[in-house]
């Protein structure tokens, strides 16, 4: 004798009898993996690059140095030995970033290179560009990718600005021990900015256009100020004459 303790439903037939209802087949359970939006976004952006690995290394050492500078005290501590440790590591990251940007990322991402040679105790600075090489009859091995170009210059200009802010904050808050790291970071980043600016005719042209636009805006503002001053003077003179 079988005892069933399961809950069962019965269906009334047309002749008035009842029969147990059949069980529906279980619905298939589908699981959809939730995509990591941040990772997907980064990968989609990198897919536009001709040199995604180079883009990563163009940002990697800079980001590591900034994060270490901001959060080292939370993880290492505030002792003098800890400060020396994270300062040395931060300086090594800055030096690695300077070397990578100067010798690798600038050449591959935007076709620019700057370097110096010493002959007879004389230092000669050389600024090269693939565009200039092509105009002289050479044949560059690649074309500059617009995405790579935008990332390169944006990150390059943002780096000294960031460390400049850190330098001012350390100066204002009297954290003199941080000024060494800030000053070194600012000098290295500024050297790369200056070197690549000297290489790039496009950046020079943009800077000249910005200066011209700024001069034009300044001249227009001065003209508006003079016109308003003249109108104000005329109005005040007429009102004085009326009261007299």
- Domain of 110, in residue numbers: 50-201
Measured distance between the N- and C-terminal CA atoms of the chain, rounded to whole angstroms: 125
Whether 3 is in a domain gets the answer no
Q: What is the tens place of the pLDDT at every residue in 31-60?
A: 444 446 878 888 888 889 889 999 999 999
In this structure, are residues 61 and 67 in contact, taking their beta carbons and an 8 Å threshold? no
Give how many domains the chain has, as a whole number.
1
Whether 242 is in a domain gets the answer no
Whether 22 is in a domain gets the answer no
CB count in 10 Å sphere of residue 131: 17
Whether 36 is in a domain gets the answer no
What is the structure's pLDDT at 78?
A: 67
What is the structure's pLDDT at 227?
A: 55
Dihedrals φ, ψ of 32, to 5°? -110, 125
What is the structure's pLDDT at 142?
A: 57
Whether 219 is in a domain gets the answer no
Residues whose CB falls within 8 Å of the CB of residue 18, separated by 6 or more in sequence, listed in order? 10, 11, 12
What is the structure's pLDDT at 24?
A: 46
What percent of the chain is modeled with pLDDT above 90? 38
Whether 64 is in a domain gets the answer yes
| In the chain, alpha helices (H) | 37-46, 52-75, 80-100, 106-109, 130-135, 146-172, 179-199, 201-243
What is the structure's pLDDT at 125?
A: 87
What is the structure's pLDDT at 164?
A: 96
Whether 10 is in a domain gets the answer no
- Three-state DSSP class for 18? strand
Q: What is the tens place of the pLDDT at every residue in 71-123?
A: 987 877 667 788 888 999 999 999 999 999 999 999 999 999 998 888 888 88
Whether 101 is in a domain gets the answer yes
């Amino acid at each position: 004798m079988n005892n069933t303790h399961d809950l069962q439903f019965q269906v009334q037939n047309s002749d008035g009898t009842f029969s147990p209802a059949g069980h529906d087949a279980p619905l298939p359970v589908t699981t959809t993996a939730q995509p990591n939006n941040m990772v997907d976004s980064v990968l989609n952006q990198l897919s536009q690059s001709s040199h995604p690995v180079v883009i990563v290394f163009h940002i990697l050492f800079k980001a590591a140095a900034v994060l270490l500078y901001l959060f080292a005290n939370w993880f290492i501590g505030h002792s003098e030995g800890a400060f020396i440790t994270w300062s040395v590591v931060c300086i090594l990251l800055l030096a690695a970033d300077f070397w990578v940007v100067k010798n690798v990322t600038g050449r591959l991402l935007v076709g620019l290179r700057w370097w110096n040679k010493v002959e007879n105790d004389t230092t000669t600075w050389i600024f090269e560009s693939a565009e200039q090489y092509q105009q002289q009859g050479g044949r560059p091995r690649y074309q500059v990718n617009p995405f790579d170009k935008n990332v390169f210059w944006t990150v390059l200009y943002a780096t000294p600005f960031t460390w400049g802010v850190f330098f001012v904050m350390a100066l204002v808050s009297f954290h003199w021990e941080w000024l060494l790291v800030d000053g070194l970071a600012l000098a290295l980043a500024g050297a790369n900015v200056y070197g690549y600016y000297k290489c790039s005719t496009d950046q020079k042209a943009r800077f000249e256009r910005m200066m011209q636009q700024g001069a034009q805006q300044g001249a227009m503002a001065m003209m508006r100020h003079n016109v308003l001053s003249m109108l104000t003077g005329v109005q005040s003179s007429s009102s004085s004459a009326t009261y007299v």
